[in-house]
Structure 1
Amino acid sequence: MDALITAAGRALTLGDPLGALNRVSLREDPPALALRGVAMAQLGEFVTARSLLRRAGRVFGAREPVARARCLIAAAEIALVLRDLNEAMDALDRAQPALEHHGDRVNAAHAGYLQARCLLVIGRLDEAETRLSRLDIQALPLASRAGGLLVAAGIAMRRIKAKPAHTALDRAAAAAREAGIPALVAEVEVARRALHAPGAILSMQGESRPLKLEAIEALIASNALIVDAMRHRLRLGDQVISLAGRPTLFALLRALAEAWPGDSARETLLRKAFGARFVDESHRARLRVEIGRLRSEIGPLAAVVATERGFILQPLGTEGVAILAPLHEQEHADVVALLADGEAWSSSALALALDVSPRTVLRAIETLAVAGKIDAIGHGRARRWILRQAPGFPTGLLLSTLLPAR
């Protein structure tokens, strides 16, 4: 291995892509192509980076499986940034076994961290946590260690566990400072601000206020019956009843919770659950059927009792009824929430993360684009979507140094 390749690799480790390019920009050998690809990715030139890494991987070929696997890892991380999640996970599944087989444990662990990050993006928290638990975080390079701890913090935040989230972010901040990479330090600070910001709106007996993560965790630990409008479920302590696939039933439940401790009129329920402007006997019949289904679903936690003018929600042995709602409820809020991470998403990645059909996502995208809330980047299969209010999008790249196996 020559001195220029070593120096370029060291520059990338320190977050200096321009310094790396100064050393290898005119070279066409596979190690230089790989390092140029990583540098271009860190500068945001993803198309060029992908091309360079693919060229390097082809030239390395079967004779140098470790170097080729490292190119796959870098390409997978670019795919993760661009939200080509299927491509990223496929590349990581191919690269990690090859690296472990040939004893490159550091880059194999980096691949494992990236797999956990992919799983976190699409909401598979159990799988992400299992993948992360198999890694020795302290054995990772500092940049990858900070990234792994950010994933751990993300899992804790989504599970509404404040203390583990704070601990993971503190460790990530220490690793980022020790690594001396400004972009990584900034990424940790963004996560820290998100942790300290309000995460939901609490509505209870006609009053609303924002809640931070610690307050949401305390509410869940209380004896309150919680209507979770962010995940479409009803919960009381550790008991959870999901209505994620039953939008009509959840709309009825929420309308009843909003009226608690009073009852909700039939006309109000029909309007909120069915969008009915004019009420006739067929609407009333449908309401009776859906109320019966709701009773059956939520029976272990609450009852729905008929009154003279409508229905009332009666929690079973709790301190009251609370509604947790997103900070900014809007049409297609689930799509907007994913785009809010600042990255550019493909429609197929959005469909995978939301577990809905591609056509459903396309309809949402068309509506949001017409409303001027999102912008398109690229054309055809390369088209990606970002929030309009975002002034560009951070790459979040923590690419490992690609040194050839020689």
Structure 2
Amino acid sequence: MSDQRGADVAAPGRPAPPRRLARIGLPTLTAVLAAYLVVSQLIVVVPVSWVMPLLRSAIIQSALLLLGAVRDAMGSWNVILAVVTTGLALVALRRSAAGRRVAGTVTGVAAVGLVLSVATSAALVCAARDAAGAWIAFAPAVPFSTVGDAPDETVTYATIDGQPIQADLYLPVRGSTPAPLVVSIHGGAFVGGSRGTNAYTTWLADNGYAVLDVDYRLSDDADHRWDTADADVACALTWATTNAQRYNLDLHRLAAFGNSAGGNLAINVANKINAGVLRPSCGSAADLPRVGAVIALYPVVDLTASGTETAIGSDAARQYVGGTPEQYPDRYTATDSAPHITDQSPPTLLVQGANDHLVLAEHTAAYAAALDAAGIPHRYVEFPFLDHAFGTTELDAGAQVTRLLTRAWLAEYLA
């Protein structure tokens, strides 16, 4: 009589049988998922100040930001994944004989991941309700899916030093009156990124706003664009003024919208234009329209601090400015946002993740305090357990609530 256990033993040189692979694969898969859940949740539960020494390493900081981006893009699906992982862990525990201790540990880790996922998701739902007055119970509908349509037109708004600079136009249905314009400015630490459809471009057009999504010259080790990036955005606005009638644009109702480095440019361009001190890299300063409102997501408002605190921030600042704050204090002052606040600064909406591992929330909050001291209408909204770059292309909870906040802000200040 043959021994049934022998069916699970592979002969030398032959692949392992399916049952053995299943016994190995299920615990391994469960362990990986459980580890992801716990680590990705812990990095937003633990205060950023506790891990600041780790952010001095570009590898560790990149890993934390990647985990944060995946977790934020997954959104409520983290809870579903945690439930499935805990269920798989329990199945593995029941089936395991020799490795019950390991299986039990994995089950415990999965359970911790489930508890953390539920807690952070619930806190974010409540924060969204407090900020925008709407319940966003489950988001995104599909994780990692981009939203928005292609632009209606791509234009070359300038050619500077032989380099063409382009922008995308997203246009609302043409009406009897010109449409207000939102200039959208991408992030990328001043050294990367480009214009492109995101969670707001098509949505804004569907809500009656024209969108000019602009590129600008980027920095590198040879070219430091600290004194031209905002001028390029201003250049795009002179193009908009010249072409306002053609595209049915109302330049008397203009808003600036940006995230991360783009948030810095949105704020600085608006403050400088309204103060009359910004000179565009093309066109005339006389053609610059006044900015009526700003929406900035996790903006780099304090490059002097952000450019020294972390490895990625320091490298980006060095390429953008050309050196350290000690070497070029005047350049850093020129790129920081608070020094450009005047009584002409526009109403500003600031949206920030509390656990941002690149642009620390404390700096954005400090800029909000500076606006308050200057008597500028503003709102600072800080969401718990969100990291850098949430809500860019995916319609996650951060993007959904930012849409609601943006709609209200524009309705109030571009009316």
| Alignment TM-score, normalising by the size of structure 2 | 0.27
More helix by share: 1
